[in-house]
Amino acid sequence: MRISRRWRSMSARPAGASKLRGISGIGQLPGRSYSERVVVVRRLRTRNKSMKPGGSTQAHSNTRSRAQTALSIRSSKLRVRHFMLLALLVEHGSLREAARRLGIAQPAVGALLRELEHAVGQDLFIRSRTGVSPTPAALALAARSDVALETLRIGLDEVAEGTTPTLRVGIVHHAMILHGIPWLTDMLRFASQWQLRVQVSAAPELLENVATGDLDCAIARFPSQNLAGAIHDTCRVWQLPADPWNVVASVGHPALKSRTPVPAETLLAHPWVLPASDSQTYLMFRNACMRSGVPAPAPALVVDGLQYCVAMAMNARLLTICPSSMLRSLPGPRQLKAVRTDFSIEAPPLAFVCRTEAQRLPAIRALLELVLSTALAAKTG
């Protein structure tokens, strides 16, 4: 009796294999026996289930992908004028005023607003007889689009005037003294087609200027609460390796003569030179005093700028605090030394901060790579 090829194929399958006919993928594994293919497909399905809890992750992923595609299609029809309108409506709350400032008819303004709301998939303003009020979504979108418009305006001005593109960098005082000069020297060589504008200020001012778009990036010590609350939504942050801080004194100071760690209470009884009470350095000093359980003493000398405090400590019998890198960088013989003490100072590390949209600038990427590489080299060296 002649047996059909299909029957011979099925009779060669192991017992129970008929239940597995519906497994997808069995026929897509050439070069294997039927049993081997069943094992492989079972393993693949088991692994996929472990990667997709409840079996719905892939479906959700596909849904998100379709939603993102739809959003990108809608947003591709938006123009600069849509975001200019958004800024005017947030500022003035009036369609008529927005139409006057844009130089178009009020019905055209209404059409622009509807197009913008359709692109984002929700209402951005609450209409009333007296005008429009922005929703939280409108305020969030305006905060980002305003900076993008300002960045675009600066770029257009540079092109129209034929000027060199500008990179606006902020650096805190002591970082400028320790690292700023070599960083900027290398940047002038690596990004010669860019003009560098450097603002040397206190960390809170730099943080505010980055948040408002007045600076492209900043290098400073930012308290963790500021990083979390003020700039994480609109900025990228790269923390540099930690740089421990020390209590320092000039050679011959009584605090350096002790063979055992100087207690905090004894150390704080000496005269100090410190920056102003609203500076970040003084706040770190005061917090260290609180952790030690000793009230912060009134400094004998108050000087704006950590570098001047260090200079005064070198020339007078005054104590101050500074990062280890600053102590190592002092020129000439070691006139200033770290005091052995249980008085510990916790300082946030330096951080490189830039706005999210600015990180695509070639000059920003070059400066970031330079800063990270030199910081890592200093730590390992």
Question: What is the secondary structure of 355-372 as a DSSP string?
Answer: EGGGGGSHHHHHHHHHHH
Residues with Cβ within 8 Å of 204's Cβ and at least 6 positions away in sequence, in order, are: 226, 280
Q: Report pLDDT digits (tens) over 53-64.
A: 444 444 444 555
Region 7-11: mean pLDDT is 44
User: What integer pLDDT is reported at residue 19 of this predicted model?
Assistant: 44
Q: How far is CA 17 from the centre of its chain?
A: 56
Q: Report pLDDT digits (tens) over 75-123.
A: 677 888 898 889 899 988 889 899 999 888 989 989 999 988 888 888 8
Which ranges of 255-361 would DSSP assign to H, the alpha helix? 264-268, 280-292, 306-315, 324-329
Torsion angle (degrees, nearest 10) of CA 60, 62, 66, 68:
70
**Is the pLDDT score of 197 beyond 70?**
yes
What's the DSSP call for residue 78? -
Share of the chain above pLDDT 90, in %: 19
Q: Cα(319)–Cα(312) distance, rounded to whole angstroms?
A: 9
- Model-level pTM? 0.57
- CA geometry: angle 261, 289, 253, nearest 5 deg: 45
Tell me the torsion sign for CA atoms 102, 104, 110, 112. Answer: negative
Q: Which two tokens stand for residue 330?
A: 């002092």
Q: Cα(168)–Cα(237) distance, rounded to whole angstroms?
A: 17
What are the chain's domains? 74-157 (1.10.10.10), 164-242+349-380 (3.40.190.10), 245-338 (3.40.190.290)
What's the DSSP call for residue 199? E
**Phi, psi dihedrals of residue 176, rounded to the nearest 5°:** -65, -40
Helix (H, G, I), strand (E, B) or coil at 134: strand
Region 344-372: mean pLDDT is 84
- Polymer length in residues for the chain: 381
Q: Which two tokens stand for residue 60?
A: 């959700």
Q: Report pLDDT digits (tens) over 25-45.
A: 445 545 555 555 555 556 555
* CB atoms near residue 176 (< 10 Å): 20
Q: Report pLDDT digits (tens) over 158-180.
A: 677 666 778 889 998 888 887 88
User: What integer pLDDT is reported at residue 54 of this predicted model?
Assistant: 47
Region 227-246: mean pLDDT is 73
**Is the pLDDT score of 349 beyond 60?**
yes
Contact assessment for residue 81 and residue 102, using Cβ atoms and an 8 Å cutoff: yes
**Is the pLDDT score of 286 beyond 90?**
yes
* CB atoms near residue 280 (< 10 Å): 19
Q: Cα(289)–Cα(165) distance, rounded to whole angstroms?
A: 46
Contact assessment for residue 142 and residue 134, using Cβ atoms and an 8 Å cutoff: yes
**Is the pLDDT score of 285 beyond 90?**
yes
- CA geometry: angle 290, 293, 297, nearest 5 deg: 65
Q: Cα(177)–Cα(171) distance, rounded to whole angstroms?
A: 10
Strand partners, 217: 169, 354
User: What integer pLDDT is reported at residue 331 of this predicted model?
Assistant: 75
Helix (H, G, I), strand (E, B) or coil at 155: helix
Region 273-284: mean pLDDT is 89
Strand partners, 299: none
Q: Which two tokens stand for residue 264?
A: 């905090």
Burial pattern 286-309, b for ≥16 Cβ within 10 A else e, equals: eebbeebebebbebeeebebbeeb
Residues with Cβ within 8 Å of 234's Cβ and at least 6 positions away in sequence, in order, are: 143, 144, 147, 211, 355, 356
**Which one has a higher pLDDT value, 162 or 292?**
292
**Is the pLDDT score of 3 beyond 60?**
no
Q: Cα(77)–Cα(155) distance, rounded to whole angstroms?
A: 22
**Is the pLDDT score of 354 beyond 70?**
yes
Q: Cα(8)–Cα(165) distance, rounded to whole angstroms?
A: 76
For 6-15, 39-48, 63-72, 311-320, which range has the lowest pLDDT when averaged over its residues? 6-15
Tokens 């939504």 appear where? Answer: 233
Contact assessment for residue 64 and residue 101, using Cβ atoms and an 8 Å cutoff: no
User: What integer pLDDT is reported at residue 267 of this predicted model?
Assistant: 93
